[in-house]
Structure 1
Amino acid sequence: MTQNQALLAATVAAVRRAGARMMTRYSTESRPPALPELLAQLQANDAAVVDTLHPALAEALPSAQWLNDEHGSGPLATGEWWLVDPVGGNVNAVHGMPDWNIGVSLVRDGRPVLSVVHFPVLDEMFTATEGGGAFLNGVRLSVSAKTSLDGALAGTGQAQPGHHPDLARRTGAAFTAMTNSALHVRISVPVTQQLAQVAAGRLDLHWQFDNVRSHTAGVLLVQEAGGVVTDLEGKPWDLAGESYLAAAPGVHAAALEVLTA
């Protein structure tokens, strides 16, 4: 087993343990009565996952720094970083919905080199390594082969609460434009789930006007599954960028045109 394979295996094992711990907290009957209770559950879920992941990943790669600021953005210092979104779609989990995940990526000098995204309720484990492909439960992934937006499933989402009204208006305008071009457009969280679906070919494109670092795990999945990820000027995706479009190659150019019209 190579060093990269061993590191991926250790990361998968840690994420799976964190998922199992979250499943002991998760209930389809969960209904927080008000915002204070909701926030307390969000924080407790994140803490449970971090308590499981942090020591395991620190042991797997002691040289890497740690960051679990799921809404953080901007550049990182050089070196290796574990970027962790403890419970992507946590707001779904605390309301008893099944669409949430645990996401981990390893970034080296600003470049994602390893990604693990686990959906415990569905028992789906997405993995990717730089140059090594993307996989779902060990089966290699490939993005959609569609070449026209008229048959495309598209998506976007709210990366974090408290958006500026201008960003909300921009998102709404883009939704309208894409709805007039694609077969179907969804707005949902978690964002990383949509990126994983693009990698699996279940969704054809995903765009985001708010590029937070925790999306990096999903970006690498799409790239390694053969997708195209750029900013909205068509330039290669960058960790510190402000927006991105992740799409199957056959619809990327058309989607970019819609989003920048």
Structure 2
Amino acid sequence: MSDAQAPEALPAGNGSDFRARVERLLTDILGLMGFPARIDFKDASDGSLSVALHFQGEPPPGVEPGKRSQVVDSMQFLLNKMLHRPGTERRFVLVGAGIHPEPRSERLKREQAAAATQAPAAPAPQPQPAPQPRAQPQAPAPRQEKAPARAQAPAPRQEKAPAAPARPSDSDERSLEVAEDPALREVARKLAEKSASLGRFYALVNVKQEDRARVMKAVEGVPGVKVSCEGEGRNRRVVFTPAKPAPLPKRSMLPEDDDEDDLEG
């Protein structure tokens, strides 16, 4: 989340220079994020270009080697948008953390095969029981007088166990009591001040509820910016909204090409 100039988009193409274009764009994006990585290329079975990112040090928050994440998926979407300008031939690029990602077509086949093997087999038909001979009617038994019911003693009253304290919901970050983290407090206040001074919108994703509460407490009193939590579950995030938003420069805006179905990984 830096105010440095965004990497310039390059036209997509075929040949040996396509990997050089992808490597240059990824290097610029990772450099602006502050997480440099070694880039490894491989031609995927479906014709796409597979890229494995081996981070030099700790990976970005929310990224685990060998697993998909919102950060890597967003990076993959942005990279393909910058490569695939309207009117150019497209070659999709897959991005993975620590490993080469599996192509979408192969992943769907594997998931369908696993679902087919786990489907329960149809139960075998059960044999019908043989019909039983019809019983002959019997004479009614003599009626017996019921003895008066005895009064029963009332059952002892059971005391209810005290209910367990309710866990704070996602909307209770401001009221949640957490220990202060000096490093997180400094970063959160700097980000809030930068949002107010530059007029930029920022968001922190993949953050635990306790850390969201620490960020909300840390930015109290910073002028010119409103900080709130939005979303539910794993999509909940901390959003920094400046009081005076500034428009983005034209060279950093994405093209008006929203054909996202062709760019799904």
TM-score, normalized by length of structure 1? Answer: 0.25
- Relative to the length of structure 2, the TM-score reads 0.24
Identify, as 1 or 2, the structure richer in helix. 1
The structure richer in strand per residue is 1
Larger-gyration structure (1/2): 2
